[in-house]
Amino acid sequence: MANIIDGKAVSAQVKEGIRQEVEKLKAKGIEIGLAVVIVGDDPASQVYVRNKEKACEAVGFNSYKYALPAETTEEELLALVDKLNNDDKVDGILVQLPLPKHLDDKMIINNIRPDKDVDAFHPVNVGKIMIGDYSFLPCTPAGVMELIKSTGTEVAGKECVVIGRSNIVGKPQAMLLLHENGTVTITHSKTKDLKEVCSRADILVAAVGRAKMVTADYIKEGAVVIDVGMNRDEEGKLCGDVDFEDCKEKAGYITPVPGGVGPMTIAMLMKNTLTAGLIHNS
């Protein structure tokens, strides 16, 4: 029976460390601020933004929310980003994705100042991650690394397989495992013998967006299995990319959905915002 990796507990530890750091900064008169911009009324985005506000409150950051109507123009959004870039009270800027269809995600992200890009999506930050000289890490892959660390598993020398090649999770995840000296394979829809490749992994990260795709025959006995997926099953219940019930007997460690990677993403956003604040006040 696998050990369940409790993302809520690990994220609470990370946030507590940040809260203590923020108290020390406040004693020196330094305040940290995160600006979150949401355009339109996508229900999932609204939930994420609320959770980010709660997390800011928990660690002691100032939180600035900008809720814009769905018909906001690119010029208006860029003007707001420019204003936040030049606002010394704001250490981190997060524009909640996806944006309405008429807005260009890439253009907006490219206009956020790299030292305030706490999502680590700006090409400058992506490039820094590639060469291993970074200030910020993308929140979900960084959260995955914390969860792996919490199991006591050494990444160095391990066979690591990432299912999925998105710019937000798959590619940066592979880089972070590589920086820790893992031997990394990125798999995707065109991979031959996917099951066979995955079953060699000591550490398997599933980030493909297909409900319960990964079954026990994808998994090596005793592997660390991290499920980044957030899907709905046929009954409408939240589930991951990994068939948890099928895999929990075979894995050594496994994350549940919900309660695994999700809480870590927001904890790492808080960590990036603290890093930004320290850079701006150094």
Secondary element (H or E) of residue 174: helix 170-179
Nearest 5 degrees, angle CA 138-CA 253-CA 226? 30
Q: In whole angstroms, what is the distance from residue 190 CA to residue 83 CA?
A: 43
Catalytic residue among 91, 115, 117, 119: 119
Q: In whole angstroms, what is the distance from residue 77 CA to residue 71 CA?
A: 10
Question: Of the candidates 53, 54, 56, 86, which has an alpha carbon nearest to the alpha carbon of residue 67?
Answer: 53
Residue 58 burial (CB < 10 Å; 0-12/13-18/19+)? middle
Question: Is 46 labeled as catalytic in the residue annotation?
Answer: no
Q: In whole angstroms, what is the distance from residue 111 CA to residue 54 CA?
A: 27
Secondary element (H or E) of residue 36: strand 33-39
Catalytic residue among 15, 91, 96, 115: 96
- Check: CB of residue 165 under 8 Å from CB of residue 204: no
- Check: CB of residue 98 under 8 Å from CB of residue 42: yes
Question: Of the candidates 86, 48, 82, which has an alpha carbon nearest to the alpha carbon of residue 65?
Answer: 48
Locus of tokens 């999925």: 164
Q: In whole angstroms, what is the distance from residue 264 CA to residue 203 CA?
A: 18
What 8-state DSSP symbol labels residue 166? -
Question: Is 82 labeled as catalytic in the residue annotation?
Answer: no
Question: Is 237 labeled as catalytic in the residue annotation?
Answer: no
Tokens of 47: 């939930």
Tokens of 28: 């020196």
* Catalytic positions, written as ranges: 52, 96, 119
